[in-house]
Copies of this chain bind each other. A is one copy, B any other.
Amino acid sequence: MNRYTFDEIRVGQKESFEAKITEEMLETFGIITGDINPLHTDEGYAREHGYRSRVAYGMLTAAFMSTLAGVYIPGERSLIKETHVKFAKPVFPGDMITVQGEVTEKNDTFKMIVLKVTIKNGNDEKVLRGSMDIMVRE
Contact = CB atoms under 8 A, between A and B. Distances in A.
Interface centre among A32, A80, A85 (most CB of B within 10 A): A32
Contact of A81 (B59, B64, B65, B87): B87
Given A28-B28, A62-B62, A33 B81 contact: no
Contact of A35 (B71, B87, B137): B71
Interface in A47-70: 49, 57-60, 62-67, 70
Q: What number of copies of this chain does the assembly contain?
A: 2
Interface string A13-39: 000010100000100110011111111
B85 A36 contact: no
A78 interface: yes
B28 A70 contact: no
A57 B66 CA distance: 7
A71 B40 CA distance: 12
Contact of A32 (B58, B63, B78, B82): B63
Interface of A: 1, 17, 19, 25, 28-29, 32-40, 49, 57-60, 62-67, 70-71, 75-76, 78, 80-87, 137
